[in-house]
């Protein structure tokens, strides 16, 4: 097992490593508050597509992609996922492996991630791979230092080096990915199965991880659900309705125009849902937005957050907030902000204007609509660029324009299309929840939808397609 992990480190070291910077100063005394307006000096880490805070509150697990030469693609290069870990207090950055979907155990003693070929889930402790598991569903859940996962028709748990069977799925509830997508609740006591059909309909089932029994879950045809990071509170979002189903506090509901366009975040407690608007991410870090709890939409903002994209995630103690900003049309960099008690001193990133100029003067005006990696290029009958990124991530407008379609289509699932100047139209397919409506005017970098798995997919991503006067063209060249 040590040899396997060493091999992963060797492969990781073969890729260009981000430069290291001097460590940030010691944390000042922090008042209570979620006003994340103080940028933290960290090493340059580019193209981060996933970020997961460790329970220690200052270690950030990162999945980022590097462009490497390739004979398998029409461009002569491809983007490969690499996993690193960053200590934001010391600035230390070190490799973990090659793969994606990094997650920490409840104590931070272990981490898990999918290997480079997505054929095994690796459990890591210190410098060792201590387990190699074979789940048949990508989503897993750490509960303390125990790891719940699904293998064929069995719910299993890995703990202390051993695997035992928790329960057996009834035949009609055995999940088959990607037709069925499964997520565990924050506390691991429940799980949902979302079953996608080729005709666009969605069935959902709610299960118990103790008995592995399931019952239909009524979500009123809502296209998007998400478990809170803690407990077993469920978020259900329709195009103009937001529900937070909390078994302890009851169901809270918001409807109307704001509910249709709001971006949601979970507060550090893992239970409180915050809602707000994200300013156009051009380039990101150039504006700050107010977020409020769902049940107090008219109160002063509980949180002030930078307009960054990607993971957008708090530490568990609420001291830091992380995401990415744009450095060019197709590259990003990691940003970490310290959260303080009042939104004082919030200033745009000093190089924001310079980065916007770089994007505007670049070879093309269209920006990558997500913080994800390219997983497939235009080739043969594949008519767009696939961008892989976690379910629920923001999709933003690639350029200014008018929304022409927000609809479901065969194969492509839910799509959002934008008509741009110069007879150019772009569409983002396989989305879950739209944040715009037909006829809306949008600007480059504005959130327009969330990543999903509708239509014919192999995992969460968006198919980014461009047409010039009705003819397919490559968005990477515009």
Comparing 96 with 15, the larger pLDDT belongs to 96
Handedness of CA 314, 317, 318, 322 (dihedral sign): negative
CATH topology of 2-10+29-360 equal to that of 373-477?
no
pLDDT (tens digit per residue) in 261-308: 999 999 999 999 999 999 999 999 999 999 999 988 888 999 999 999
pLDDT of residue 32: 61
pLDDT one-digit tens code per residue, 21-60: 333 334 433 346 799 999 999 999 999 999 999 999 999 9
* pLDDT higher than threshold 90 for residue 2: no
Residue matched to tokens 């201590």: 130
| Cα 471 from Cα 102, distance rounded (Å) | 39
pTM: 0.92
Half-sphere CA count of 91, side-chain side, radius 13 A: 14
pLDDT digit string (tens) for 358-378? 999 988 899 999 999 999 999
User: What is the 3-state secondary structure of 411-437?
Assistant: CCEEEEEEECCCCEEEEEEEEEEECCC
∠ CA 132-137-142 to the nearest 5 degrees? 65
How does the average pLDDT of the chain come out, rounded?
A: 92
| Contact between 64 and 82 (Cβ < 8 Å) | yes
pLDDT tens sequence across 175-212: 999 999 999 999 999 999 999 998 999 999 999 999 99
The yes-or-no verdict on residue 421 having pLDDT over 70 is: yes
Domain 373-477 architecture: Distorted Sandwich (2.70)
Cβ atoms of 47 and 331 closer than 8 Å? yes
Q: Is the peptide bond before 142 cis (omega within 30 degrees of 0)?
A: no
Instruction: Write the CA distances from 7 to 10, 69, 83, 96, 344, integer angstroms.
Output: 5, 20, 14, 11, 47
Judging by beta carbons within 10 Å of its beta carbon (0-12, 13-18, 19+), is residue 10 exposed, middle or buried? exposed
Instruction: Give the span between the Cα atoms of 41 and 21, in whole angstroms.
Output: 8
Q: In the structure encoding, which two tokens stand for residue 452, read together? A: 């999903």
Of 2.40.160.60, 2.130.10.10, 3.40.50.10610, 1.10.3720.10, the CATH number of 2-10+29-360 is: 2.130.10.10
Q: What integer pLDDT is reported at residue 68 of this predicted model?
A: 96
| pLDDT at position 7 over 80 | no
What mean pLDDT is predicted for residues 431-452?
98
State the pairing for strand pair 34-39/303-306. parallel
Long-range contacts of 347-353 (CB under 8 A, 24+ apart): 347/37, 348/285, 348/286, 348/287, 349/39, 349/283, 349/285, 349/286, 349/325, 352/283, 352/285, 352/286, 353/286
Residue ranges per structural domain of the chain: 2-10+29-360, 373-477
């Amino acid at each position: 097992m040590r040899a396997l992990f060493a091999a992963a480190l060797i492969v990781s070291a073969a890729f260009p490593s981000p430069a290291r910077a001097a460590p940030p100063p010691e944390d000042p005394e922090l008042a209570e508050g979620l006003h994340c307006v103080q940028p933290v000096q960290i090493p340059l880490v580019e193209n981060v597509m996933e970020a997961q805070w460790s329970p220690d509150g200052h270690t950030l697990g990162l999945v980022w992609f590097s462009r490497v030469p390739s004979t398998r693609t029409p461009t002569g290069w491809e983007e490969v996922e690499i996993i690193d870990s960053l200590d934001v207090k010391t600035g230390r950055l070190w490799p973990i492996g090659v793969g994606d979907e990094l997650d920490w155990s409840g104590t931070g003693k272990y981490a898990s991630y999918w290997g480079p070929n997505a054929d095994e889930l690796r459990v890591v402790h210190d410098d060792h791979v201590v387990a190699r598991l074979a789940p048949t569903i990508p989503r897993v859940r750490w509960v303390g230092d125990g790891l719940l996962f699904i293998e064929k028709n069995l719910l299993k748990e890995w703990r202390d080096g051993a695997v035992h069977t928790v329960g057996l799925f009834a035949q009609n509830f055995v999940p088959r990915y990607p037709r069925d997508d499964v997520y565990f609740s924050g506390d691991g006591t429940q799980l949902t199965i979302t079953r996608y059909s080729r005709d666009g309909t969605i069935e959902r089932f709610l299960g118990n991880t103790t008995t592995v029994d399931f019952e239909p879950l009524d979500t009123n045809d809502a296209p998007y659900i998400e478990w809170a990071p803690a407990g077993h509170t469920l978020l259900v979002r329709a195009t103009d309705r937001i529900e937070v189903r909390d078994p302890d506090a009851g169901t809270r509901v918001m409807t109307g125009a704001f509910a249709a366009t709001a971006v949601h975040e979970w507060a550090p407690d893992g239970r409180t849902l915050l809602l707000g608007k994200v300013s156009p991410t051009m380039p990101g870090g150039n504006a700050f937005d107010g977020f409020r709890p769902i049940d107090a939409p008219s109160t002063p903002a509980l949180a002030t957050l930078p307009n960054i994209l990607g993971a957008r995630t708090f530490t568990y103690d609420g001291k830091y907030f992380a995401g990415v900003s744009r450095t060019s049309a197709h590259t990003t960099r990691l940003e970490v902000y310290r959260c303080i008690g009042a939104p004082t001193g919030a200033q745009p990133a000093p190089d924001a204007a310079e980065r916007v100029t770089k994007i505007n003067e670049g070879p093309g005006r269209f920006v990558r609509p997500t913080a994800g990696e390219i997983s497939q290029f235009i080739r043969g009958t594949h008519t767009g660029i696939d961008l892989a990124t976690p379910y629920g991530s923001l999709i933003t407008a690639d350029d200014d324009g008018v929304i022409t379609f927000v609809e479901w289509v065969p194969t492509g699932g839910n799509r959002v299309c934008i008509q741009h100047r110069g007879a150019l139209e772009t569409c983002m397919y396989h989305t879950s929840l739209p944040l715009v409506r037909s006829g809306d005017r949008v600007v480059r970098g504005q959130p327009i939808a969330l990543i999903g798995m509708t239509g014919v997919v192999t995992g969460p991503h968006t198919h980014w397609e461009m047409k010039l006067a009705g003819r397919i063209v490559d968005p990477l060249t515009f």
